[in-house]
Structure 1
Amino acid sequence: MEHDLVVFVPGFLGTRLCRDGQDVWARCGEQLIGPAAAALTEVALPPGLGDAPPEGPFRLDADALLQVPDSVPGLLSCMGYPDIRTALGDPLDAQFVPFGYDWRLSHRLVARQLKARVARELDRWRAEVDAYYPDRTDDPRVILVCHATGGLIGRHYLQCEDGRETARTLVTLGTPQKGLVQAARLLAGDAISGDAGPGADVAARLNEALRDWALNLPAVVEMLPLHPAVRVEGKRHERRITDNRYPVPGLPGDAVREAVAFQEEFRSGCDGHRRAGPLPYTVHCLGSVDFPTPEALVLSSDGSRIADGLPGPGDGTVPRWSAVADWTGTDPMLWTGFRNADMASGPALRDAMLAIRAGRPPGGTLAGEEGIALHFPRDPVAAGRPFVIELLGHDLSRRNLQTFMWRSGRKDKQPVVFRQYEPDRYRAELEATPGRWVVEALVDRPKGRDRRDVTVVAV
């Protein structure tokens, strides 16, 4: 309702991690894509941390919400949250709580931190609300809006940390309810292929650095997919990463067991509450099926190596099968035309939030940006080598097509020239210096936009 407290939980990468006011992750990310091999030691966690908070040199300050695009190559991207207040329907300063946190840590631990923060903020807001909403019909509760993996934190808080007693609504935006195939490949040391893009030597360096770092991050381990997401060449049926007949090469069994324990704890919480009746809060889950998305990894016929990946419908990060929140016992899905990294933007979210805050159900399908999609090569790509991007959309030449490219964190944009090569298909060939780059395409009649980020590495 309009008088409720609005709490926003960003996803993985969505909070700046700082030490002495310096963005440590940004510095490490630049080193990672540079010409020399770089370990992510400044943003590492000690082995076996579990659900404990880090101490000493491992502790970082969760400074503020991310404002510019960022990514972990081979895992996921975040476009940042520069317009999040607008996207949430412009709540008052006093009733808006952006919850920044250390995204490396266990979702269990962060759910407990969220519980403490919500308790303080809700007490404060209930003491102030009469000055803003004197005609309200009940006491304020919480509208919890969670982007991407932030939804794993939000749902754990609600179902396992007694948060359901405070909530009126949970809104998740591209949350991997059943995990990400990319997490399995990252932890197996196979997130980045050298067949296309940066080359075998660079891919091997990046895979080693990312795997060594991510194996000690509880948040990445808890992203592992537990839905059937493994295919074996020559076999008919999908398998789970827990299938001991075909274990994923390089994926540690301890990590799989930790992921299973995390999911089982959440499911147990849901089962316990289900006996008491339906959820006391409403759930709306924004997702998409408009973009090719990693759906499964493919093992060689003897199971000795990861041979390939298999795409399917999704939001570019989360496949359809993982986006569906079956734990609610309802159909909470709102299908949009937006990528995961952009799902917390104003165009994707605002109409739904205005309806939710007014006490109305949002539409079953949100129109989003119709008929336009960018397709990139595998991320990352090599600096100094041309790479091709494609743009798909109907009658774009008559819809005032505008396309730009810029370095993340900088304002100067340069135009990109796309040339049509088939009906509704356009292509551009680009080169870029090392860094994180964003490509954006805009059209009118009807309005549409798609944005993709790409990591360019030195070779």
Structure 2
Amino acid sequence: MSPQRQAGTDRHASAEHEVSPHVTQDAVVIVPGIMGSELRSTATGDVLWGLSGARWLLRAWTRRDGLAALHLTEDELAGKTGRVRATQLLRHGTWTPYLRGQEPYTDLIDTVRDYVADPAAVLPFPYDWRLPVATNGRLLAARAREHLTAWRAHPAHRAAVEHRADRRPARLVFIAHSMGGLVTRSALDGTHSDDLAADTRTVITLGTPFYGSVKATVILNSGRGAPVPLPHARLRALCATMPGLHDLLPLYRCLRTEDDVRRLDVSDIAALGGHPELARDSLAFHARQQHVPLPDHRTVVGTRQPTWQSLSLSSGRVTAYEDGPQPNSDGSLIRDRDDRVRYFAVHGDGTVYRAAAALSGHVSTVPVQHGDLARADSALDAVADILLEDLPHGIPLGEPGCGLAVPDLAEAGVPWRATAENIDSAQGLTCTLTDTETGVERPVPVRMEDGRPTATITARTPGLYRVELHTYDRYTISQLVLVTEPGVPVAEADD
């Protein structure tokens, strides 16, 4: 565990409903990626996916019937679900052909719990990853709304709000790995819950293939025209009629032709081994999703790993390449002097190449593999930093920064005020008081009083203190205040 996240432990106070000011008051929803949820039979309770141990994995991937119960039935393909239920996020590492190792989500859940006001603020959202993203998006929208409503009524939420600058109620923070980002975007598209996006503070995605992954085409193509290891053939058999896998097919210009590169169409997907009806539904779904904004979207992407970016298709056979085309500013492809398309190795996380995951301008890069993006210290540190942000609904009015008015002299044990000047909102403002001798720093709440953002401060012991006001637009204004012995009237301190 990194030092930063180690410092995040023990943040919850022992007194009932008292919380540290160094946590978020928001409700957090954790959405895993494909194959990241444990699946059980509704009828028997048997685990169909998610058990630990190499012995179980070998049975699942090498026996003829090892994954038979996961294959979608005709009823499930027709939308009649319920035979299989998702019970929890993966607690054990597992392995999948092509997708490689899948780390458990325990470290991510533990990290998030360190930075919320109470464990009740965290909702892990397992889902049946075999089904269409749209189906799971509807379920997520309903569960997220229920979770936010319940958390806002929780005593720890009310205590946490007292520490925030503008004392706003909780909003939602989604943390989504891989396919989970697509499920989250579907939940926020307005057709399931028209105010869910308005109640969302931020969406953090970890390696989400917003523009798809060439690896999905390779999975669907396994065993077509060439022998492959048995586990790879088992995966192809499972995914051939799996809507969730079709939702991961690449949407960008990735198919190499003689003198150009174009997008896959339904006939291409059918030719490489996909299901034409599922392909048609998926392409239509993604076309609708392109216009769905993600509130304050933060992207964490893996880099420096060899990653398939493009492919060719010949006689039903896919050949994948670790490089791809790049566009000019006008959208045309970069070509050489002979007008041939040039190809560039951009790399990614081993499953999703960088540009396919970078939907927004807020991108953090970490040199890790796709399956480790929800466990690596570097990725978890980025998640922790974003959780502790408290972005307001808008920037403070007026010029950048603000003024600070404090007395130059105060008495120990007697409250006094620090007031922000030339600003009429407490949103995004934080205040700290530091003993310059000991270096001990403590936060002081900022509230509106008489129309001005004000912090009421009491220094318990004499000394020289630094008051710092931190604004949303990244300015820090500070002032030193001398605090005298108790009982020494401030007005007579010069006598």
The bucket for the TM-score relative to the shorter chain is: 0.5 to 0.7
Equivalent position of 1:100 in the other structure: 126
Residue 34 of structure 2 is aligned with which of 4, 7, 12?
12
Residue 33 of structure 1 aligns to a residue whose secondary structure is: helix
Residue 25 of structure 1 is aligned with which of 46, 49, 53?
49
Equivalent position of 1:318 in the other structure: 352
Equivalent position of 1:309 in the other structure: 320
Equivalent position of 1:436 in the other structure: none
Structure 1's 353 and 252: CA in aligned 2 closer, same or farther, altered over 3 A? closer
Structure 1's 244 and 117: CA in aligned 2 closer, same or farther, altered over 3 A? closer
Residue 212 of structure 2 aligns to a residue whose secondary structure is: coil
Matched, 1:62 2:89: no
Distance 1:5 1:44 in 2: 35
Q: Deviations over 1:108-143 (max 9, x none)?
A: 111111111111111111111113443331011001
Distance 2:151 2:299 in 1: 26
The alpha carbon displacement at 1:261 in A equals 1.2
Matched, 1:282 2:296: yes
Cα pair 2:75 2:81 within 8 Å, conserved = no
Cα pair 1:241 1:247 within 8 Å, conserved = no
Distance 1:294 1:153 in 2: 23
Equivalent position of 1:454 in the other structure: none
The alpha carbon displacement at 1:267 in A equals 2.0
Equivalent position of 1:179 in the other structure: 212
Matched, 1:340 2:370: yes
Number of residues paired by the alignment? 331
The alpha carbon displacement at 1:294 in A equals 1.6
One-letter identity of the residue aligned with 1:315 = D
Structure 1's 292 and 44: CA in aligned 2 closer, same or farther, altered over 3 A? same
Cα pair 2:212 2:251 within 8 Å, conserved = yes
Distance 1:218 1:307 in 2: 20
Matched, 1:125 2:151: yes
Equivalent position of 2:142 in the other structure: 116
Distance 1:346 1:133 in 2: 30
Q: Deviations over 1:57-108 (max 9, x none)?
A: xx12212211222233124542111212343361221211111111111111
Residue 309 of structure 2 aligns to a residue whose secondary structure is: strand
Residue 83 of structure 1 aligns to a residue whose secondary structure is: helix
Residue 359 of structure 1 aligns to a residue whose secondary structure is: coil
Equivalent position of 1:223 in the other structure: 248
Residue 314 of structure 1 aligns to a residue whose secondary structure is: coil
Cα pair 1:51 1:109 within 8 Å, conserved = no
Cα pair 2:173 2:203 within 8 Å, conserved = yes
One-letter identity of the residue aligned with 2:279 = V
Distance 1:185 1:95 in 2: 39
Structure 1's 26 and 120: CA in aligned 2 closer, same or farther, altered over 3 A? closer
Equivalent position of 1:211 in the other structure: 236
Cα pair 1:51 1:108 within 8 Å, conserved = no
Equivalent position of 1:254 in the other structure: 277
Cα pair 2:217 2:249 within 8 Å, conserved = yes
Cα pair 1:158 1:164 within 8 Å, conserved = yes
Larger mean Cα displacement after TM superposition, 19-28 or 259-268: 19-28
Cα pair 2:60 2:67 within 8 Å, conserved = yes
Q: Deviations over 1:4-54 (max 9, x none)?
A: 0011001111111123443212578533433x5346321111247458352
Residue 24 of structure 1 aligns to a residue whose secondary structure is: strand
Distance 1:350 1:243 in 2: 38
Structure number with the bigger relative contact order (C-alpha 8 A, sep ≥ 6) is 1
Equivalent position of 1:291 in the other structure: 305
Residue 170 of structure 1 is aligned with which of 159, 183, 203?
203
Structure 2 counterparts to residues 387-398 of structure 1, below 5 A: none
Larger mean Cα displacement after TM superposition, 281-290 or 209-218: 209-218
Structure 2 counterparts to residues 362-441 of structure 1, below 5 A: none
Distance 1:246 1:349 in 2: 33
Equivalent position of 1:153 in the other structure: 183
Equivalent position of 1:446 in the other structure: none
Distance 1:131 1:104 in 2: 40
Q: Deviations over 1:148-205 (max 9, x none)?
A: 11000011111243331220000000000111112122223359x96xxxxx3x53x5
The CA RMSD measured in Å over matched residues stands at 2.7
Distance 1:47 1:317 in 2: 30
One-letter identity of the residue aligned with 2:319 = D
Equivalent position of 1:265 in the other structure: 288
Distance 2:307 2:223 in 1: 17
Distance 1:77 1:48 in 2: 31
Residue 308 of structure 2 aligns to a residue whose secondary structure is: strand
Distance 2:158 2:74 in 1: 49
Cα pair 2:132 2:243 within 8 Å, conserved = yes
Q: Deviations over 1:387-419 (max 9, x none)?
A: xxxxxxxxxxxxxxxxxxxxxxxxxxxxxxxxx
Residue 265 of structure 1 aligns to a residue whose secondary structure is: helix
Distance 1:190 1:320 in 2: 28
Distance 2:249 2:72 in 1: 18
Unaligned residue ranges in structure 2 (runs of 5+): 1-22, 324-346, 392-495
Equivalent position of 2:415 in the other structure: none
Structure 2 length-normalised TM: 0.61
Matched, 1:355 2:385: yes
Structure 1's 307 and 317: CA in aligned 2 closer, same or farther, altered over 3 A? closer
Residue 39 of structure 2 aligns to a residue whose secondary structure is: strand
The alpha carbon displacement at 1:263 in A equals 0.3
- Identical columns (%): 27
Structure 1's 2 and 228: CA in aligned 2 closer, same or farther, altered over 3 A? same
Max Rg structure: 2
Equivalent position of 2:109 in the other structure: 85
One-letter identity of the residue aligned with 2:106 = P
Distance 1:48 1:226 in 2: 28
Distance 1:247 1:240 in 2: 14
Structure 1's 156 and 244: CA in aligned 2 closer, same or farther, altered over 3 A? same
Matched, 1:134 2:162: yes
Cα pair 2:111 2:380 within 8 Å, conserved = yes
